[in-house]
């Protein structure tokens, strides 16, 4: 496989009509991009309608779900509901949920519960980690290690292969450029080492993705030099012509 691409549409588009058009463009691009596995994470309200009757190569994710299995959570959706709408993956702990501009985001313990709840509902969690900013002190390594420690706390060794890690530090999201691929390589080694400390050699096989300002110009370099199995893409996945160029750039690399 050339790469795993997670198309995180975030809170767009505004209408189902546009969502259908974006999905049609993504389907076409995914069909042409041999070896690239595409996961589309639309807003949950569009998921069932997009996945209905679809039999192609794309698989689906939700961008978030609630960890609880009881029902008193107005406005939330459960992992079981996500599964029923044909999500096979879920983003868990995306940086924009951990650190919303209004403050008071998801804490590590909540992320931990969501990882466990996803696995219990037969959904593959894509656990997102990453620091808010870099200071040059190296402190971000401890920060990421702690997010991994807590986030994976309830994951048994036999379930580890069902978890995907995405490193997407907040400071690289929504920027003109992604982080340097060699720095990502360093971080990927660190993430693997941290997981090996708790899980032994099985940690070496963990799938690691990178997220933050990736587009068709930067995707091939990150995949070649970043030591990652794939990419989580925001803006460049939510526009039909961008996603077409992005998937082609990876398939042709």
Active-site residues, by number, are 94, 168
Applying CB under 6 A, does 106 fall inside the site for ligand PGA?
no
Tell me 78's DSSP state.
Answer: B
Q: How many CB atoms lie within 10 A of CB 216?
A: 18
* The only residue of 124, 148, 163, 232 in contact with ligand PGA, by rule CB under 6 A: 232
Rounded to whole angstroms, the Cα distance separating 46 from 43 reads 6
Binders in 169-188 for ligand PGA, by CB under 6 A: 173-174
Rounded to whole angstroms, the Cα distance separating 155 from 153 reads 6
CB of 241 to ligand PGA, least distance (A): 16
Q: Which of 51, 111, 121, 55 is nearest to 83 (CA)?
A: 121
CB of 233 to ligand PGA, least distance (A): 5
The DSSP line for 145-177 is HHHHHHHTTT--GGGGGG-EEEE--GGGTTSSS
Applying CB under 6 A, does 212 fall inside the site for ligand PGA?
yes
Applying CB under 6 A, does 213 fall inside the site for ligand PGA?
yes
Query: Which of 168, 203 has the CB closer to ligand PGA?
Result: 168
* The only residue of 5, 227, 234, 249 in contact with ligand PGA, by rule CB under 6 A: 234
Rounded to whole angstroms, the Cα distance separating 153 from 101 reads 27
x/- track of binding to ligand PGA for residues 80-99 (CB under 6 A): --------------------
Applying CB under 6 A, does 214 fall inside the site for ligand PGA?
yes
Written as six digits, the tokens of 154 are: 């309830």
* The only residue of 42, 151, 169, 211 in contact with ligand PGA, by rule CB under 6 A: 211
Rounded to whole angstroms, the Cα distance separating 29 from 13 reads 18
Task: List residues near ligand PGA by CB under 6 A.
Answer: 8, 168, 173-174, 211-214, 232-235
């Amino acid at each position: 496989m050339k790469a795993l691409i997670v198309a995180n549409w975030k809170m767009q588009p505004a209408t189902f009509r546009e969502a259908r058009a974006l999905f049609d463009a993504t389907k076409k691009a995914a069909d042409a991009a041999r070896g690239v596995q595409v996961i589309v994470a639309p807003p949950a309200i569009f998921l069932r309608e997009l996945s209905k009757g679809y039999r192609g190569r794309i698989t689906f994710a939700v961008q978030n779900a609630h960890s609880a299995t009881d029902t008193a959570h107005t406005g939330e959706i459960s992992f079981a509901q996500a599964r029923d709408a044909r999500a096979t993956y879920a983003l868990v702990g995306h940086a924009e949920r951990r650190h919303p501009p209004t403050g008071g985001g998801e804490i590590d313990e909540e992320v931990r519960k969501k990882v466990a709840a996803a696995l219990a509902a037969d959904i593959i969690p894509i656990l997102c980690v990453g620091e808010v900013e870099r200071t040059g002190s190296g402190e971000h390594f401890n920060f990421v290690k702690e997010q991994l420690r807590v986030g994976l706390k309830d994951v048994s060794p036999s379930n580890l292969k069902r978890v995907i890690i995405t490193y997407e530090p907040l400071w690289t999201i929504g920027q003109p450029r992604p982080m340097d691929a060699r720095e990502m390589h360093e971080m990927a080694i660190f993430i693997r080492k941290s997981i090996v400390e708790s899980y032994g050699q099985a940690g070496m096989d963990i799938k690691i993705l990178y997220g933050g300002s990736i587009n068709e110009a930067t995707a091939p370099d990150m995949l070649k030099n970043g030591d990652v199995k794939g990419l989580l893409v925001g803006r460049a996945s939510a526009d039909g012509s961008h996603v077409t160029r992005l998937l082609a750039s990876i398939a042709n690399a």
